[in-house]
Amino acid sequence: MSIFKKSSALLFLSLFLLTFFACKTPEAVVPTKEASKKEEQENVVKPSEQESQVSLEGKEDIPSAQKEFRAAWVATVANINWPSKPGLPSDVQQKEALKILDAAVKSHLNAIILQVRPQADALYDSELEPWSYYLTGKNGKAPQPYYDPLKFWIDEAHKRGLELHAWLNPYRAHHTTAGEIGSESIIKKHPEWVVELQNGMWWMDPANKEVQDFSAQVVKDIVKRYDIDGIHFDDYFYPYPSYNNNKGFPDEKSWKKYLAEGGELSRADWRRKNVNDFIQRVAKDIKSEKGFVKFGISPFGIWRPDFPVGIKGMDQYDVLYADAKLWLNNGWIDYFTPQLYWPTRQINLSFPVLLGWWDSENVTSRHLWPGINLSLEEKEENKGEIISQIMISRGILHDDPGVVLWSIGQLLKNDELDSSLVAGPYRANALVPPSPWLDDEPPAQPDFRTEKTTEGNFIISRISDDPADVFRWVLYFKYEEEDWNYRIFNKIEQKAALPLKNAENKMLESVGITTVDRTGNESEFKKIPLHESM
């Protein structure tokens, strides 16, 4: 399909959905006490009414689990989400982290985007940058007792089958909420790299070659030393104009140097090139270290006003000097998450219209998973908005759906929203969609052994897998006169049980198993004979 036809079709779909949801916003659905009850026995699959309603599309009766990116940001700057305040003992920080991860699992998410470098600092053990103020209450001070927070988050996320993406701010040097500037701060060590803004923040100069080298080195260090699934940047490139009282970014020294060396670009184009070059460089650096690590960016949701026609708002191309459309067009990034934080019915900032436009620009078919704003639900007139936006995203991005939730804190405090997600669009768990440009080779079919118990269960034990090539595994099952269903297990879970007869007194008819690798490739379906047991 041509880009023009694709754009037109998506715009039509967006406008249709906009009209539909403007007329009727779905009410939040709260699950019954029975539907939300936890499984009492670990790893025993008990098909419930909720599960039996999950429809699986399959070819020749071969089922396929739902694939959808479901992530949430965990912000550490200003202690927005974690830890709840600076200087907490290590065990308290860890308990708070586990609460967030358990909440993500309960909400049927499959990825966490954790901010580990909010301001040229580190929420991990780094030889390049000091420990974060937001972690210990003092720039450069390690957690007490010592532990490595990023490694802790990665290990605990992976135990739960969650991807863990490390979120970095490439240029911010000091935030106004970060207390005193410590002796190990980049501001003290390299004053020639930074500028002070009128709101009290400090910013690294994106034009400075040493800044580019250093920030790229930080990214490579994390990718090399940690078992992360992704690197993530947000929308902070050149700072928002209000940070410097709308007086422009103070890069006169770098600009004059560029001109003196024969530079011919306009100042705006020069700034954009600084950012473009850095994004392209980081993308290559990540893949040179580990080919499976995804690179994601969540830019401001509008590229330029009137793209598409009728959209009004800030011009990030001319204000943040972020040519986000270029990055998407060129396929430099693996997943693109424009921050579409506005209600569906806000015509000049319409969520479906903007998402449809970004999709028309996704000419290299990378992941397009929009960021959505959970705090919209705090207003009564926006109740049901998040469910609507997830469903709209599925309609527009039907081959590769997903969203990123801003932020995990809203799920922790809004029980009604959380319940409506799990009772509605997130009713069944989902796998992260594959990234075939990173790796398109599926893992080998799993080996297993089975047994039937006197209690009436069919036990499946997974064996002989290559642990390096397995991240999760899927157990598919079908009872007579019912559709295929499935449960997704984490790689550390080796055993599952199915009742031979379900609550409706229907016999287990078919069972199968697949494994899933780090980039989302699923193995061929392997049917498990019910009549054999070992």
Any idea what the CATH number is for the domain that residue 277 is in?
3.20.20.80
431 within domain boundaries:
no
446 and 407 in a common domain? no
Indicate if the pLDDT at residue 36 is higher than 90. Answer: no
152 and 77 in a common domain? yes
User: Among residues 395, 423, 451, which one ends one of the domains?
Assistant: 423
Asked whether the beta carbons of 272 and 238 are under 8 A apart, the reply is no
528 and 383 in a common domain? no
pTM given for the model? 0.90
432 within domain boundaries:
no
* CA gyration radius, the chain: 24
Residues 73, 85: Cα–Cα separation, whole Å: 17
Range of the domain at 96: 3-30+66-423
Q: How many domains does the chain have?
A: 2
148 and 160 in a common domain? yes
Give CA separation, 28 vs 354, 408, 417, in Å.
24, 18, 7
38 within domain boundaries:
no
Q: How many CB atoms lie under 10 A from the CB of residue 65?
A: 23
148 and 264 in a common domain? yes
276 within domain boundaries:
yes
Which residues touch 242 (CB under 8 Å, ≥6 apart)? 199
454 and 361 in a common domain? no
Phi, psi of 245 (to 5 degrees): 55, 35
Q: Which pLDDT band, with edges at 50, 70 and 90, does 60 fall under?
A: low
132 and 24 in a common domain? yes
Residues 268, 241: Cα–Cα separation, whole Å: 14
CATH number reported for the structural domain that contains residue 530 in this entry? 2.60.40.10
What's the chain's average pLDDT?
A: 90
501 and 357 in a common domain? no
314 within domain boundaries:
yes
Indicate if the pLDDT at residue 94 is higher than 90. Answer: yes
User: Among residues 391, 423, 455, which one ends one of the domains?
Assistant: 423
Q: Minimum mean pLDDT among 91-95, 153-157, 468-472, 477-481: which range?
A: 468-472
507 and 381 in a common domain? no
37 within domain boundaries:
no
Q: Across the beta sheet with 457-463, what order do the strands follow?
A: 447-452, 457-463, 495-499
In the chain, the percentage of residues whose pLDDT exceeds 70 is 88
What amino acid is encoded at 364 in this protein? T
17 within domain boundaries:
yes
167 and 57 in a common domain? no
Q: Minimum mean pLDDT among 50-64, 93-107, 241-255: which range?
A: 50-64
Indicate if the pLDDT at residue 31 is higher than 90. Answer: no
User: Among residues 396, 423, 450, which one ends one of the domains?
Assistant: 423
Residue pLDDT, tens place only, 313-348:
999 999 999 999 999 999 999 999 999 999 999 999
Indicate if the pLDDT at residue 53 is higher than 90. Answer: no
Bridge partners, residue 20, by sequence: none
363 within domain boundaries:
yes
449 and 339 in a common domain? no
Residue 520: name the closest of 369, 391, 370 by CA: 369
305 and 406 in a common domain? yes
Residue pLDDT, tens place only, 450-462:
999 999 999 999 8
Indicate if the pLDDT at residue 407 is higher than 90. Answer: yes
